[in-house]
Amino acid sequence: MRNLGDTWAIGNGLFETIRVEDGKVFALHRHHCRAKESAEKLGFEIPDEEYVARQSYQVIQNEAFQLGRMRWHFDRNQEFSISYVPFQDPTRPASLMIFDERNSDFEIQNKEYPYKNLALLEIAKSKNFDDGIIVRSDGQVAETSMATLLLKINSKWITPPLSSGILNGVVRALVLEAGLAHVQRIDENELKVAESGLLLTSLRNAQNIGAISGRDLIIDEIKCAQIHKLMQEFKGH
């Protein structure tokens, strides 16, 4: 299969963005399961896991990246393509803003085209932030434009519930299964008292949050390392 390179496919289907480290695809089975479930909700089918895995590793074999970003593109017309490029982990904690817009029906439970969160990411970057936090009209914190939120509030690590409209993140699920965090509603006013925070994504695994709206948070390298260690168990699975 041809590698599309650093590009987004133009279409009306789904995508999955995945970390590839030392030639191994992170949590391949879980990503395929999520894509399959999303496709079923939207009324189309995707190739089976064996085919997707075979094509993914074929692309990897042609590119000698120690660390890479792979993106699967599933089109409603049954077309499947892969983009794969080198990736570097962030070298500093993330600085987050809080988006002004409040959305009563926020929901991003499928990674489908067009991906509306990209516009939010551009807003954050235009204001010199790395990303921003999405808050619903009822004051409930959801996620950032690109990541699941994991916050330490009152000495407890918590992440918003799926009922807040957030994506069912692969890393989020693994962290919860390992007992490293709890699900709990987070209100906007609690962002002011968050002690520490992490961004969870399949690409970066875990990244410390350095500040929210200019207020510094405590960097928790131990928690971050805990999650990175857990994620190593899912390389190639």
Fold of 94-232: D-amino Acid Aminotransferase; Chain A, domain 2 (3.20.10)
Q: So what's the pLDDT on residue 3? A: 65
Query: How does DSSP classify residue 163?
Result: G
Distance CA 113, CA 169 (A): 17
Residue 2: both structure tokens together: 């041809």
Q: 125 exposed, middle or buried (CB, 10 Å; 0-12, 13-18, 19+)?
A: middle
Question: Residues, the chain, total?
Answer: 237
Per-residue model confidence as pLDDT tens digits over 111-166: 766 677 788 899 999 999 999 999 999 999 999 999 999 999 999 999 999 999 89
The verdict on pTM exceeding 0.85 is yes
How much of the chain, in percent, has pLDDT values that exceed 90?
A: 75
For residue 90, say if its preceding peptide bond is cis, omega within 30 degrees of 0.
no
Per-residue model confidence as pLDDT tens digits over 179-224: 999 999 999 999 999 999 999 999 999 999 999 999 999 999 999 9
Q: So what's the pLDDT on residue 208? A: 98
Answer for the pair 71, 16: CB distance below 8 angstroms, yes or no.
Answer: yes
Q: So what's the pLDDT on residue 64? A: 79
Q: What are phi and psi of 216, to 5 degrees?
A: -70, 140
> At 110, is the pLDDT very low, low, confident or very high (cuts 50, 70, 90)?
low
CA atoms within 13 A on the CB side of 231: 25
| Other Cβ atoms closer than 10 A to 149 | 27
Q: So what's the pLDDT on residue 59? A: 95
Residue 93: both structure tokens together: 């904690």
Reduce the DSSP state of residue 162 to 3 states and report it. Answer: helix
Q: So what's the pLDDT on residue 80? A: 93
Q: So what's the pLDDT on residue 115? A: 72
Per-residue model confidence as pLDDT tens digits over 16-57: 999 999 999 999 999 999 999 999 988 999 999 999 999 999
Fold of 14-86: D-amino Acid Aminotransferase; Chain A, domain 1 (3.30.470)
Q: Where are the domains of the chain?
A: 14-86, 94-232
**Between 235 and 143, whose confidence is greater?**
143
Q: So what's the pLDDT on residue 119? A: 85
Per-residue model confidence as pLDDT tens digits over 222-232: 999 999 999 99
> At 1, is the pLDDT very low, low, confident or very high (cuts 50, 70, 90)?
low
Q: So what's the pLDDT on residue 102? A: 79
Q: So what's the pLDDT on residue 70? A: 95
Residue 184: both structure tokens together: 């709990």
**Over 60: is that where the pLDDT of 9 sits?**
no
